[in-house]
Each structure stands twice: as structure tokens, then as C-alpha cells.
Structure 1
């Protein structure tokens, strides 16, 4: 059984919002920035947990929440269904299950502190299928900076999660994104506990999103 299915939602939130961690607030702010960049009509959040940042999706037409923990999704629905236009819950383990989102339909995919716990090949395949050409993928990865993967906040139920975590290097990330997810940039956020969050932006290439090199082509003179 995946350890994430056993972590009580209150423990998760208490740990992530602890003053020495501060990740919930930072991740919500990153989500807000991406919404303000794109004003998406359709959003998909991989690893939605209890819905941190979902308050920023009030202008979106459809929001997909993907998570393997049904309790997390139930809490998310209770909190945010009243303020969102259409909230669709998808209980799935991306490593083993298909994610039922229509192909090429999503304007913005949010993937925060998620890749460290899943099969990268399967996850990127799912994201590629759902993200439309020209759509934005925002990935946030944690860098522990030799401080340990899970900070000591007194929440012990998260310890089994550390056993399955794999810190994803930038080289690995870019390799899995290539060639059709174009890297747009990164931003680093320093956390109180010495860790860092790195936010990466990618845009899905397609017929409506030409590669930059093609824009430099000069027609010959006849």
C-alpha cells in the first residue's frame, strides 16, 4: 500500500504549514502566480492532496483534482466545490492507473512535490496526454540541501513517506520533459528549514506552438 494513503490529512497539513517548513504558503503563492500568468479555463492538479491553492481557480471553467488518497479528495471537495465552477475528483495512483482527463484539454497542469513519489515515465506520459499544445506545466521539486527529506515537526506519520521519496535532479527532469515540453525557466524559493523549492515552467509544443528555432528561419530571395 502506498504510504500516502495512510497519512491523516490533519497531520499532512500540520507538518506542511509548520513554521519551520512553510511549504503550504509558498506552494499556494506559486499556484497563484501561474494562474495570473495564464488565466486558465481548465486546470489539472496532480497530487492535489487537500486542495492547497485551489482558491486561486475560481475563474476557471473546470478543475481536475488527481490524488490517490480518497480522504484527501473528500476534504478538498467539501472545501472548494462551493466556490469552483466545476470540480472533478479523480482518485488515481498515476504510477499504475490511467487519469481520466480528455486529451489535449488542459491549459494549466500543477505538479507540486509530486514527481519525487511516482514513476516519471508514466507521469509525464499522462501529463503529455492531458495538456493542450501551448499549455503550461508548472513543476515544483524539493531540494533537501542535506537537511533530511522530512523535517522534524513532531508529525511522525510522514516518516514512511520519506522511504519512498526520490529527489529528482534537474538533469533527470529535463530529460523526461524533452523533446515536446519546452523548458521556460525556473525560480528558487528558500525555506525556513534550509530546504529549497524550485519551480519549473514548461510549455507543450504542438502545431499551435512552434519551436523558437523555427521562428528564426529566413525565406530565400528569389
Structure 2
């Protein structure tokens, strides 16, 4: 079965996300800057990298490798063309993260923004559990709808309707509990209000000492 993300045009998606009443592309860019700068790192892994929003904040003086994973190969091609300055350190892979048996490469920071909603909490936690030896800091963003529709209103909303077929509502408190169960602790939680009444919730986790 095809994944809807393989059929969504990146320009339509990003234009929708950047609409004044949605303002998610800009907010995610700012959040990604913080996710990259808040922790010492040499290797960064980004799940659901799409067109690479936020990669301009990468500091070449302290980053040796950026690995980006996405299910849409066209997105990856666009990402590569957008950031030629990263060509020596940017490694992109087309991969379906619904497969929790995937072996993820080691990273100091694993960034997972608006990806859990599309693979589901259980699959995501299984993916982390199966790869916990290869990750240090996990920083995520989930969308809190606050009784609004999952896909925000813009002139492109109808073009994104297929995404509703794979959407999962994510409760941050339940997600926190699931992370604790697999040996992680929350070291940051921040809310970012959006103009249409929604919120982005950023949560950062690292492994507890002596976790099994």
C-alpha cells in the first residue's frame, strides 16, 4: 500500500505550512535551530527530513555528519539541491519508518518533528527501543490540535486530505510515560502556540544512567 506522503507535492505542502494562519514552517524552522544548537554534537539524524527545513542552522565547524531519512525520494532530491554547502556531510536515505526493525545510524541528536503522528506512538517507541544504543538525545515535536482539525485550513487543505488517513493523535503525557518505560527521561518540554489555536510541543529526552 502506498503511503500518502509519496503523493504530496513538497511545494504545496510547504506553501500550506507557511501560510499566515498556519505558520508552521516558520515555527519549525525556529525550533529546529534550537534543537541543533542546544546540545553538543558531531552527528545529527533527522527523521522525516522532507526538504530540509532548518538545515541552514547547521554549524559546519562542529558537525561531521547529518543523516536525513524520508519516505519520499523526491523530497530528498530537493533537499540535496537546496543545501550544496552541506554536500560533504549530508547523507540522505529513502526509508519507510513504519518498519520499526530499521537499524538507525548512531547520532548525538535525533530530531523527529511531526513524524510520530504519521507512524503512530507504538511504532515510534518500538523504533527507539530497537535503536537505543545508537542514540543519545532524542528531540521531538508533536502537534496539539486543541479541538481544531488535524490539517489546518488554507487554500491547499484539500490537496493534503490523504494525510488524514494515516494520522494518529499523540498525547504528550502518554508519550512521556512510554519513553520512561524504555529507559529515557524528559529533559525539556516547551510549548509553541500557533496562530490558529494549535500548539507545537517540543520534548527532549536522553537515556537514564544504567538503563537496561
Answer whether TM exceeds 0.5 for this pair.
yes
Contact kept in structure 2, 1:107 and 1:131, CA below 8 Å: no
Please give the residue correspondences for 1:72-221 in structure 2 after superposition, counting only pairs within 5 Å.
Answer: 72-83=75-86, 85-96=88-99, 98-102=101-105, 105-130=106-131, 135-155=136-156, 156-179=158-181, 180-206=183-209
What SS is found at the alignment partner of 1:27?
helix
Q: Alpha-carbon deviation of 1:17? A: 0.6
Q: Using a 3 Å threshold, how does the CA distance of structure 1 residues 131 and 54 change in structure 2: closer, same or farther? A: farther
Cα deviation 1:68-125 (Å, max 9, x = unaligned): 01111110011124335411111111112754533xx211011111101104333333
Tell me the residue number matched to 2:43. 42
Tell me the residue number matched to 1:65. 68
Q: CA RMSD in A?
A: 2.2
Whole-angstrom distance in 1 between the partners of 2:41 and 2:125: 20
Larger Rg: 1
Q: Using a 3 Å threshold, how does the CA distance of structure 1 residues 61 and 132 change in structure 2: closer, same or farther? A: farther
What SS is found at the alignment partner of 1:11?
helix
Whole-angstrom distance in 2 between the partners of 1:17 and 1:70: 22
Matched positions, count: 207
- Structure 1 segments unaligned to the other structure (5+ residues): 211-222
Whole-angstrom distance in 2 between the partners of 1:97 and 1:74: 24
Q: Using a 3 Å threshold, how does the CA distance of structure 1 residues 78 and 133 change in structure 2: closer, same or farther? A: closer
Whole-angstrom distance in 2 between the partners of 1:85 and 1:107: 18
Normalised by the size of structure 2, how large is the TM-score?
0.88
Normalised by the size of structure 1, how large is the TM-score?
0.85
Q: Using a 3 Å threshold, how does the CA distance of structure 1 residues 32 and 84 change in structure 2: closer, same or farther? A: farther
Please give the residue correspondences for 1:50-61 in structure 2 after superposition, counting only pairs within 5 Å.
Answer: 50-59=51-60, 60-61=63-64
- Structure 2 segments unaligned to the other structure (5+ residues): none
